[in-house]
A = this chain, B = another copy of it.
Amino acid sequence: MLAFSRVTVIGLGLIGSSIVRAVRQHMPTVRLTAYDADPAVRARVEELGLVDDVTDTPGAAVTDADLVMLCVPVGAIGTTAETIADDLPADAIVSDVGGAKQSVSAALRAALPNNVFVPGHPVAGTEHSGPDAGFATLFHGRWCILTPEEDTPQAAVERVKAFWQALGSDVEIMTPRHHDLVLAVTSHVPHLIAYSIVGTASDLEEVTRGEVIKYSAGGFRDFTRIAASDPTMWRDVFLNNREAVLEILQRLTEDVTALQRAIRWGDGDTLINLFTRTRAIRRSIIEQGQDDERPDFGRAHD
């Protein structure tokens, strides 16, 4: 039994194009329709043969859908939802994949007062963008978080949950507010720091950009992967999860200041206590299958 039989994906970047590939692989009988605001992306999706139909308007993409997945940056969710409102079947469920859920809920409630929506967020991705970057196994063994409202029909939540499980994900349900705080810690602030440190390194007068690149294997290069992620998507995440990001950033700043002080005063015990504690977390992440246990994530060494 399939949770949905006519799935429409709007926005065919890394996540949207991975979803259609994964649906093809795991639910081959599902009818797939796609729309992207960028004509070049639409053409490329046709060329790659990723879906059954690519439409020229968002409205045309949804007229026959039972699930509509909005895979656009968080800041575009509201306007995108407005463009499909008139053509959306009354029983179609709307979902999304955005990284900030309180603002998505508010935008969907305003734009689609008559439809059931179940916002979601697959915690998976790579630093690459666009329809060529997607792949069917992106969600395997990764968590997808659903953030229904209190009055969202349970049956709709269950169907969206079954959809993600069929793509290979584990599914967790939480409130939009809690999602935004958890993701501020595990994703948003790490990205902000990574972008920032790469920016700082490239602006120094005494160290050239060439030196930063040559000696990046000392640790810096790990930050550059994250800092190569899609700029528009990330701008929208920060502007739409402002409160939680600023709260976690404040906590991090306090902790960095304490380390700064330990270094200045030669307090080696504080340093070694922290550095010992942090090893355990990586061990747990590897044990739970959320990262590669080979050295350097399995990077090639030759």
Question: Which residues in A have some Cβ–Cβ distance to B below 8 Å?
Answer: 99, 123-128, 133, 135, 137-138, 140, 142-143, 145, 172, 178, 181-183, 185-204, 206-207, 209, 211-229, 231-232, 234-235, 238-239, 242, 245-246, 248-249, 251-253, 255-256, 259-260, 263-264, 266, 268, 271-272, 274-279, 281-285, 288, 290-292, 295-302
Contact = CB atoms under 8 A, between A and B. Distances in A.
A67 to B, nearest CB: 24
Contact of A187 (B128, B188, B218, B292): B218
Given A137-B302, A272-B232, A281-B224, A295 B218 contact: no
Given A186-B215, A195-B275, A271-B235, A297 B295 contact: no
B271 A234 contact: yes
Contacts of A298: 297-300
B296 A224 contact: no
Given A128-B295, A224-B282, A281-B224, A195 B290 contact: no
A202 B268 contact: no
B181 A206 contact: yes
Contacts of A284: 209, 213
Given A235-B271, A245-B263, A276-B231, A220 B186 contact: yes
A59 to B, nearest CB: 28
Contact of A207 (B185, B206, B245, B255): B185
Given A220-B187, A281-B213, A259 B192 contact: yes
A301 B295 CA distance: 16
A299 B279 CA distance: 20
Contact of A127 (B181, B224, B248, B296): B296
Contact of A290 (B99, B143, B221): B221
B227 A190 contact: no
A199 B255 contact: yes
Given A219-B190, A227-B278, A263-B238, A212 B197 contact: no
Contacts of A256: 192-193, 196, 249, 253
Contacts of A216: 186, 285, 290-291
B190 A275 contact: no
A143 B190 contact: no
B195 A291 contact: no
A263 B242 contact: yes
B285 A221 contact: yes
A291 B221 contact: yes
Contact of A242 (B142, B199, B264, B276): B264
A285 to B, nearest CB: 5
B297 A200 contact: no
